[in-house]
A and B are shown apart, each in its own frame.
Chain A
């Protein structure tokens, strides 16, 4: 059974209840269509279960398969440095269908980032390292495709819809 390595810490991007009993970690790629399909379902899960769950996103860009995946991950992390990781995360998935070189700055502007800072943060080694460390944690945790989900530290073998179903049953 594959488990999450390392466990969730303060360097992770967390949404929802901090003391929630259910912790969901997604390893995702902003250009992966399956992750794009999972995105609205995860939103629904978050709405349905509110503070009962804690949702964490880690980057797993398949950059050889998806040419914009790595840059998209850098953009989300850079937005995070201005306290707007989730705004960028959401904007990227909502605009996945039109991913292109000039989209990142457009989204940065839309969500109200300091554009100069966003651009320079995207170039930082530390930003790149954050994405690469997420990727490596995915490999060590047994990620075998995107999206991959971990529930309370254990790999969940299923899609977002299966996850939703499982949560409904377990909180009944």
Chain B
């Protein structure tokens, strides 16, 4: 009995920790280095001076018309207007990303948060331990490397891009 209640308490603490874990506006975006292709690594800090959009998502190969990455692929010129570079991030491997990019004709990098699995997603507080995938979360990072906006979407809902564009517009007014 004692043991059970002890675990229950741990669970609760863990749950509260998870709720407050996601990095939010004002925080410095933790640097990372992830593979975009088998022989190309992307370092976040190399993008200082540019706005960066990080789109964490659960997995490659979701149905096409409602696919978040397919939507962002159509929007690159709008992101470009705000001097912003977008990266998709999931725990899929570089080879999986490569096949997905080719199949969907994606024109922006997908980063593989593959080894150690989900490390960057965890750093940003958007890793789902139970399913072992990234949550569906968006970050807009300003030119100085600070998080300007973040949003956690229900996993089943594609969050669209209006929030990203609003955040970029806000930054362009500064």
Contact = CB atoms under 8 A, between A and B. Distances in A.
B84 to A, nearest CB: 14
A64 B165 contact: no
B74 A144 contact: no
A142 B105 CA distance: 23
Interface string A61-86: 01111000000000000000000000
Contacts of B96: none
Contact of A144 (B68, B78, B107): B68
A152 B162 CA distance: 19
B74 A143 contact: no
B71 A145 contact: yes
Interface residues on B, range: 20 to 34
Interface residues on A, range: 20 to 34
Contact of B66 (A139, A142, A145): A145
A26 interface: no
A65 B160 contact: no
A146 interface: yes
A131 interface: no
Interface in B30-69: 64-68
B46 to A, nearest CB: 26
B8 interface: no
A141 B71 CA distance: 13
B65 A146 contact: yes
Interface string A145-165: 110000000000100000000
B159 interface: yes
A87 interface: no
Contacts of B160: 2, 139, 142-144
A33 B63 CA distance: 11
Given A34-B66, A141-B162, A144-B160, 20 more contacts: A33-B65, A63-B74, A64-B104, A64-B106, A65-B104, A136-B78, A139-B75, A139-B78, A139-B160, A139-B165, A142-B161, A142-B163, A144-B66, A144-B68, A144-B157, A144-B159, A144-B161, A145-B66, A145-B71, A146-B66
Q: State the 5 A-B residue pairs at the shortest beta-carbon distance, nearest first.
A: A145-B66, A144-B160, A144-B158, A142-B162, A142-B160
